Amino acid sequence: MRIGKGIAALVVGVTALTAASSGAAAAGREDGPASGPARTAADELIVGFEKDASAADRERVADKVATLDRDRLVRARGKAAVDVFQLRRGSSESRAAATLERDPAVAYAEPNWRLTKADVSTDPYYTDGRLWGMYGDASPTRQNPYGSQAAEAWGSSLPGRTGSKQVVVGVIDEGVMVSHPDLDANIWQNPGEPMDGQDNDGNGYVDDVNGWDFAHNDSSVFDGRPPADYTTDEHGTHVSGTIGAENNGAGVVGVNWDVSIVSGKFLGANGGTTADAIRAVDYMTNLKLKQGVNVVATNNSWGGGGYSQGLNDAILRAAKADILFIAAAGNDYRNNDKRASYPANYDTRRSTSTEAAASYDAVISVAAINSGGGKPSWSNYGRTTVDLGAPGAGINSTVPPDSSGTAYWAFDGTSMATPHVTGAAALYEATHPDATPQQIRNALLGSTVRTSSLVDRTVTGGRLDAAAALAR
């Protein structure tokens, strides 16, 4: 039984993108962004005094609203005093500020804003508006509330907020162009396997330096010969770019600027087989169990065929090795509740006759949304079987360069939505290195933003919010 490439509705070519703000103006309250974390120090005000204000004036002013004058920011002789006031519990900062500013001794009273180091991509596809899937409603440079909110996650104060090379993601798909200038620094390098014709790490694969090609049973995970044959492995390369294209001032940027991508190639020009898919999944599991590689998740932007217990078992083994299996819901215009789409419909809480269940569901099924928050007609859905939506229409990412030198194309499909979620899972691991896969799943699904096109069509009724997930 052959599995067709999971991009039946994929538009192979440049898709005209709408403006980054498309659809935002028409969004109702229901589709608004989730409330973000407080951005001021609670119950605190910074108060600047007039230059001639005395110590008695400062005490009198403090008595109006504060329990104490917590800190003196400016105390030099001859300069106006600036203090930090700790307000009485439950006080309104805005009302307290208004009260203070009516006092003649006070020059100003303002919130004590929480400031964080802000990381913003300088890559041109990000800055010129073509990378809408990375934007958020309050992201620097460009905004789109229906993006993944990755850009807001990059601006958080969490260590690892732009990713980590210690986090490994398996791309089970076509191969990956490991030399692509936007991917080369984020390709996994097998520490135990020099390219010398030997199986040095003893895992049964000779020279699996960057992963393995299960379709051709060799170590070359990229078989394209651009520009003459740039379409070979373009799908796997495109998916990889969304997960982890570098922030290098050129091209696109991924959800993670730093990550390690390992290729489990099993799809070729004519699709792939279930057997090769099983081998690819087990390869990732064994990397983690036998070689200690920190494989956090696999991206599975493919589908087709019917139920396979062999593949189900492989996914169960991966789940019990603490590897999430993030899968495209499919591009078949259908309800997965009524007609299952595999592998998205597997559930690792259910055992098979040959493999015990995992304690959690490692499978996260992803539908697509467009830049206006709508679900494209081709995207599969399911109130009980599809977990959330993510950007999947007009998604620019990396591809092998064509004869004109173009190394970036826009594709449509749940194939493109899935790596946004996989990237967010990797970003969560980078910022929460002790998280369990259940905790990562809970963070991703528990932080979605309610979206009208996904209500009653997905489990969460919402879309990915990477920044909110990191804050959980």
Give CA separation, 308 vs 312, 342, 349, in Å. 6, 9, 16
Angle between helices 414-431 and 234-244 (to 10 degrees): 40
Query: Annotated catalytic residue: which of 43, 137, 173, 208?
Result: 173
Separation CA 367–CA 328 (nearest Å): 7
Where is 418: in which H helix or E strand?
helix 414-431
Core vs surface per residue 1-17: b (16+ CB within 10 A) or e = eebebbbbbbbeeeeeb
Query: Annotated catalytic residue: which of 91, 164, 371, 415?
Result: 415
Active site residue 137: no
Where is 409: in which H helix or E strand?
strand 408-411
> Who contacts 63 (Cβ-Cβ below 8 Å, separation ≥6)?
none
Active site residue 420: no
Strand partners, 391: 369
Query: Annotated catalytic residue: which of 22, 121, 213, 235?
Result: 235
Separation CA 183–CA 245 (nearest Å): 5
Tokens matching residue 191: 């520490």
The dihedral built from the CA positions of residue 389, 390, 394 and 399, taken in this order, carries a sign that is negative
- Which residue's entry shows tokens 């740039």? 230
* Residue ranges of E strands in 141-267: 163-173, 211-213, 258-265
Strand partners, 450: 462
User: What DSSP state is assigned to residue 132?
Assistant: G
User: CB of 381 within 8 A of CB of 452?
Assistant: no
Active site residue 173: yes
CA angle 382, 384, 385 (to 5 degrees): 65
User: Which residues are catalytic, by number?
Assistant: 173, 235, 415
